[in-house]
Amino acid sequence: QITTTIPVVITYSAPPRNTPVVFENRTERVSCRRALPRLPLLPCGRPNMVFPSLRSGAALAVAAALAVSVRGFAPPAAARAPGRPRPSRGRAPTLASAYGAGLDQDDLMSNDMCIAVDGSDGVVGRVSKREAHAWGPDAPRGVLHRAFSVFLFDGAGRMLLTRRSAEKITFPGVWTNACCSHPLHGRSPSEVDDPVRDYPEFPGTKAGAVRKLAHELGIVEGAVPPAALRFQRRFHYWAADTVTYGAAPPWGEHEVDYIFFAQCDGAGPDLAPDPEEVAAWRYVTREELQGLLADEGNGMLWSPWFRGIMER
C-alpha cells in the first residue's frame, strides 16, 4: 500500500515579515527498506510561494490553494530564551511513574529526551526537548525529531480541540488538536520505534501518546488504549515561532509528525486538563471547525501543524 502526500507551503504570518511553514513530500512504502525515502529539504524562501522543485502542475495548483496565514499575538511574559543547541547522546533521565509530576514547562524542556532522526526517520540519537526546539545560527531549524499528533472524536463524530496554555514555551495560546507531543528515550515501555519493522502499529509512539493524553488531559488509563489509536500517516515539517517571538525566533518546530485518530464512545473520555498544558477545550463538528478556520475575525490562533493537516 502506498500513500502519497502533496508538498505544500503554509505561511504562518506575523509582523514584520512572514516565515513559511514547509511540509515535505513524503511517501509511505511498506515494502521499502526505508519507510520515508530521503528527499532534499525544501528551502525557506519567500512567503506564499510554492517552490519550483514541484514539477506536477496539479500538485502546484493544489499546493497553491492550500496556502494559509495566521495573525500574530503577544509573547508570554515568562518565555525563556534557549541556550546554544547541541545534540545530547548521554543517558536519558527516567521520570517518576506519574510523568511530569512536580515539573514545570522549563523542567520538561530539559528533562524530556526526544528521539533525534534523519530525513528518512531513522533514529540517530537523543536530544533534549530544549535543544531540539532551539533555533539559532548554529541550528537554523533546531534538531529534527519525532513527534505525534492525536485527534480524538466523540461518539457523534465531533473533534476535540484544545488551546495550548500560555505557559507553553513553543506556540503558546494557539488552538490545535487533542494532544501534540513527543515519544521519548528512556521510557518503559520503550517509545523508540523502528520506522520499518514497527509500521504501521508503532507501539512505542502509541505508548508516548497514551502517556501524554494522561498528562495533558487527565485521561485515565484504559479510556483511550493504544489499540484505539489508528495511525494515519506521518509527515516532515518545520515552523519557526515568529508569531510569539518576532522576526528572529529562538524557538521553533522541526519534526517527523505521526498522526493518530481515535474514535471514542458517547461524549468521549472524561477530561481533567493540566492548566500548565491546556488552557481550554471544546468539541466541534466538521462544519463548526470549517467555520472557525475560515473566520479570521474570531481571534482564534491555530498551530501550524494543525492548520496544515486540516487544510490537507
Annotated catalytic residues are 180, 255
d(CA 276, CA 199): 33
Strands 159-164 and 179-181: unpaired
Q: Is the separation of the CB atoms in 150 and 262 below 8 Å?
A: yes
Question: 94 by DSSP, 3-state: which?
Answer: coil
Using the Cα atoms of residue 146, residue 152, residue 158 and residue 163 in order, give the sign of their dihedral: negative
d(CA 135, CA 82): 8
Q: Is the separation of the CB atoms in 301 and 71 below 8 Å?
A: yes
**Burial status of residue 287 (CB atoms within 10 A of its CB: 0-12, 13-18, 19 or more):** exposed
Q: Is the separation of the CB atoms in 255 and 237 below 8 Å?
A: yes
Indicate the residue type of 229: L
Q: How many CB atoms lie within 10 A of CB 25?
A: 19
d(CA 61, CA 42): 18
Quick one: cell of 17? 515579515
Find out whether the peptide bond into 16 is cis, omega within 30 degrees of 0. Answer: yes
